[in-house]
Structures are given as structure tokens and as C-alpha cells.
Amino acid sequence: MDIQNLLEDITGAVQPQIGQGQVAGYIPQLGAVDPHQFGISLVTKDGEVFSAGDAHVEFSIQSISKVFALALVLSSDGDGIWKRVFREPSGNPFNSLVQLESEDGIPRNPFINAGAIVVTDRLLSLTGDAAGAVRALMRRESGNALVDTDHRVATSELESGHRNASLAHFLASCGNLENPVDEVLESYAQQCALAMTCQDLALAARFLASNGLGAEGELVLSPAQTKRINAVMLTCGTYDAAGEFAYRVGLPGKSGVGGGIVAVVPGKCAISVWSPGLGRSGNSVAGVAALDEFTTRTGWSVF
Ligand code: GLU
């Protein structure tokens, strides 16, 4: 298969969707991003890289960071996190407070904000610097030592992040945080504000397509943990539209409100797409369309 040609074709095919939807204005810095951009990168499990469109433009990875934080916690701490976070789809918006109260402070899954705050809290206990640990993983796996937090985005989120603050205080009131609320929220905002390109992200996610094997030949996760993290991505990775994403794309995926999505074809490749316009559930409109085209044309879905 001519993958380069395919990515260029897909970039052409989704032109009508680019710019559709809304950028995530609830974080003021993200609201300022030009929606008329689209990038796509694919990295095979053996490390071959293909890119098209704006694949070398940095964007805010936001919730995509949650996959990498979870990978770090699972790899150094095993299954203990599952006592503090469930792994079921929530059926609610990613920042909802309602379910957390009715379920006594145990978040539904690690990819909604409440669950990710618990994972970051654990990573902070394990490393002393949760955002630094996620950044180091991203740098090593992408091979780009310049990957860094965009501090304007982190500050913008912290200044306007009243909902996340409510979730964190509620978690603390239920005894489900180990560290002070302010420290956890700061780490969480910094990991979400990592700025990366599609190519960086696809490279960084390659271990999810290769049974956990990382860029330097090390095991980022065991094959069994890799299977499980991909399963949680499939069922919980694309907000309240994981069913629709499975229907259209049919791959484990994780989206972020910066407009990025990382998807995994287990045993074959990792793909990253980015376009800032979000649909009603918070997933990139052109990004989902591109992944739909990709699996429809290649037959590379898990179904
Ligand atoms: N930092 C964002 C928030 O907590 C992440 C949201 C997302 O990408 O889903 O609101």
C-alpha cells in the first residue's frame, strides 16, 4: 500500500470538513487557534513515518495526555489504580460532576476529567513531577527533545478551570486524592498543555501498536497492559461519542479538545490527526472524518 499517497488523498477528501465545528473556547488560549488547519501522521510499528497536511504544526494535546499518564501509572504501579477509577464509559460529558457524586467519588474511567485527575494524582505520588514524567515519555518516544508544555495554555486553563477544581475538591472530600488539590490541578493542566505535532504524537503512540515496545527497544507497557489500555481507549477515549467513533472508525482512539486524535491499529501502526474544529461531543470533525476514510479505505479497523 502507498501510505504517503493515501494520507495525501485523505487530506484532500476531508477539505470540506476542515473548519467545521467550534474551537474549544472554554480555555481562552485554545479559542484563539485558527480552525482552518488539518494534519495527519502515521507511524508503522517498525517506525516508518508518513505525514500530510499540517502534520508539523504544534497543537495542544489536552486529553490525549491522559493515555500517556495512565501508561506511566500502569507500568510502575500495576493495577492499583483500578481501585480508585472504574473503566466503564460514562455516558456523560467529560467534565460532568453529577455521576461523581452519585458514585461516591470513584470516577467512571481514566479518560474523563475526574478519572484523569486521579491518575495524575497517583503519578505525582510516584514521581514527584507528573507533568515532567509525561513530558519525558513524550520526548523519548517521539525522539523530539523539544516537546514542552505551552505555559500560556496551562495558565489559561488554571485561571478558567473552575469545573476541574470542583471535581478535584470533590475527589479530595471522598478521600480519593493523595496530594493537595492545587498541586494535582497544576500538574494536570501542565500535562494537558503539552504542545506537539501530529508526527510527534504518532511516534509517541507507537508502543500502543507494537505490544508495548517503545522507540528505544524498551517495554513501555507489557503486551497485556497494552491490550487493556487500547480497550479503554476504544470504549472511553472519545467522550460521549465512543459508540459513534467505534461505528465510524473502529479503532481504539483518544481525542482532546485541542482537536487532536490518536488512533491505534494494534499490530500495525499509530495514527495522529489534528484539526481544531470540534463537533458537539468534543471530537475533531475533520479528524474523525479522516480516520473514517482511513479505515474504510484500508480495512484496517479492529472490526
Ligand atoms: N485540559 C482539558 C480540561 O480538563 C482537557 C479536556 C479534553 O481535552 O478533553 O478541560
CA distances to 73, 77, 124, 145 from 127, rounded to whole Å, are 10, 11, 5, 20
3-298 folds as: Beta-lactamase (3.40.710)
- For CA atoms 48, 50, 55, 60, give the dihedral sign: negative
pLDDT value at 91 more than 90:
no
**Mutation pick for ligand 1 pocket among 70, 95, 109, 117 (CB with most ligand atoms within 8 Å):** 95
Give the span between the Cα atoms of 296 and 76, in whole angstroms. 37
**Mutation pick for ligand 1 pocket among 192, 239, 284 (CB with most ligand atoms within 8 Å):** 192
Q: Look-up: residue for cell 507533568?
A: 131
Which residues make Cβ contacts (< 8 Å) with residue 70, sequence separation at least 6?
81, 110, 119, 229, 232
**Residue 242 CA to ligand 1 centre (angstroms):** 16
pLDDT value at 96 more than 90:
no
pLDDT value at 92 more than 90:
no
Strand partners, 274: 39, 260
Atom from ligand 1 closest to the CA of residue 188: 1
- pLDDT digits over 131-174, tens only? 999 999 999 999 999 999 999 999 999 999 999 999 999 999 99
- pLDDT digits over 234-265, tens only? 999 999 999 999 999 999 999 999 999 999 99
